[in-house]
């Protein structure tokens, strides 16, 4: 089954996608947002660091954004997962268009914005998954302040955790739990000591209570909060299906974009966590704003044919 033609389809209706939709709705473009509702920060009860919305439930920020965007009559919403995307050539004009599938229904548009977000690949430690976003975090700026300068544990995932451990003493006395992930060299040990970081060599067996760490030697260390740097992957294979260029960052691949958030495929734009190595709600909103304007400019000033 096939459905209406849109100017722009946005896959992902969280902060980045909604911000793109806001610009496009205000430009009176016909927009479809497709979203399956799995925001990256859905595990956290409060969001921090986004001006005017500090310490607000992230679901509330997303719901308020959605209700403001849906006031624009040319914007439509479909709940569900877009599981296929393809480029078409329009009969007659030869112009490129895009088709996406959601639960067996096909939707068509002249431009596509990928606001897919990413999925964190958490370390396989007993008790960690259920504490993610509650007492185990990845971003000190997002959740460090609320620990009130209490004791912080950094669970190493790779040598990148050195950087994490060197940052965290500004938020509280820090212990680096190496957990067999890497062995700091002499210079690194010196840098850690200069920041007052305590090093723990015994492997982590499990997490319990609020943020207690059970070590393999039987000891339990109690912390106010824990941090770990988890690798991630873009939440949906749609970007790869379309064949957009990706770029590798320290924790995973993101979609490569230019200054107006255009991807390597003309007519396809990308924004938010899926298209930038540094992540936050504020950055996703800014990114989405650019992608919305980028897609609108492309509609006004570019004719896109298949290369």
Ligand X SMILES: Cc1cc2nc3c(=O)[nH]c(=O)nc-3n(C[C@H](O)[C@H](O)[C@H](O)COP(=O)(O)OP(=O)(O)OC[C@H]3O[C@@H](n4cnc5c(N)ncnc54)[C@H](O)[C@@H]3O)c2cc1C
| Binding residues vs ligand X (CB under 6 A) | 11-17, 34-41, 43-44, 47-50, 81-82, 115-117, 120, 132-133, 142, 235-236, 238, 272-273, 279-282, 284
Which CB sits closer to ligand X, 50 or 165? 50
Which CB sits closer to ligand X, 178 or 242? 242
Q: How far is the CB of 89 from ligand X (least distance, A)?
A: 23
Which CB sits closer to ligand X, 81 or 195? 81
CB contact at 8 A, 267 and 293: no
CB contact at 8 A, 36 and 81: yes
Which CB sits closer to ligand X, 178 or 280? 280
| Beta carbons within 8 Å of 283's beta carbon, 6+ residues apart | 272, 276
Q: How far is the CB of 40 from ligand X (least distance, A)?
A: 3
Q: How far is the CB of 19 from ligand X (least distance, A)?
A: 8
| Beta carbons within 8 Å of 172's beta carbon, 6+ residues apart | 144, 147, 148, 149, 150, 151, 152, 224, 225
Which CB sits closer to ligand X, 84 or 89? 84
Cα separation values, 222 from 69, 144, 209, 214, 225, Å: 44, 16, 9, 9, 9
For residues 173 and 217, what is the distance between their CA atoms, to the nearest angstrom?
22
For residues 203 and 206, what is the distance between their CA atoms, to the nearest angstrom?
9
Q: How far is the CB of 180 from ligand X (least distance, A)?
A: 24
Q: Which contiguous run of DSSP H or E holds residue 49?
A: none
Q: How far is the CB of 282 from ligand X (least distance, A)?
A: 6
Q: How far is the CB of 250 from ligand X (least distance, A)?
A: 16
For residues 175 and 75, what is the distance between their CA atoms, to the nearest angstrom?
49
Which CB sits closer to ligand X, 272 or 292? 272
Q: Which residue is nearest to ligand X (CB)?
A: 272
Total number of residues shown for the chain: 307
């Amino acid at each position: 089954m096939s459905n209406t033609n849109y100017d722009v389809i946005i896959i992902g209706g969280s902060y980045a996608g909604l911000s793109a939709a806001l610009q496009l709705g205000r430009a009176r473009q016909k927009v479809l947002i497709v979203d399956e509702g799995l925001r990256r920060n859905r595990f956290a009860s409060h969001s921090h660091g986004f001006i005017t919305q500090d310490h607000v439930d992230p679901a509330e920020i997303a719901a308020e954004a959605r209700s403001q965007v849906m006031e624009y009559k040319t914007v439509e919403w479909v709940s569900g997962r877009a599981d296929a995307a393809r480029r078409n050539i329009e009969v007659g004009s030869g112009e490129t268009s895009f088709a996406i599938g959601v639960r067996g229904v096909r939707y068509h548009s002249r431009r596509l914005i990928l606001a897919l977000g990413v999925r964190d690949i958490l370390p396989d430690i007993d008790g960690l998954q259920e504490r993610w976003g509650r007492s185990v975090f990845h971003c000190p700026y997002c959740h460090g302040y609320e620990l009130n300068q209490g004791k912080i544990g950094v669970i190493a995932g790779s040598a990148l955790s050195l950087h994490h451990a060197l940052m965290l003493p500004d938020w509280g006395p820090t212990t680096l739990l190496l957990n067999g992930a890497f062995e700091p060299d002499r210079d690194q040990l010196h840098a850690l000591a200069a920041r007052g970081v305590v090093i723990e060599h015994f492997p982590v067996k499990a997490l319990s209570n609020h943020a207690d760490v059970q070590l393999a030697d039987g000891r339990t260390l109690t912390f106010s909060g824990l941090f770990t740097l988890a690798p991630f992957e873009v939440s949906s294979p749609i970007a790869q299906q379309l064949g957009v260029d990706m770029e590798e960052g320290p924790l995973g691949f993101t979609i490569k974009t230019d200054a107006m958030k255009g991807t390597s495929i003309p007519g396809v734009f990308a924004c938010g966590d899926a298209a930038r190595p540094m992540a936050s709600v504020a950055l996703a909103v800014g990114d989405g704003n650019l992608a919305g304007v980028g897609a609108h400019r492309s509609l006004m000033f570019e004719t896109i044919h298949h290369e």
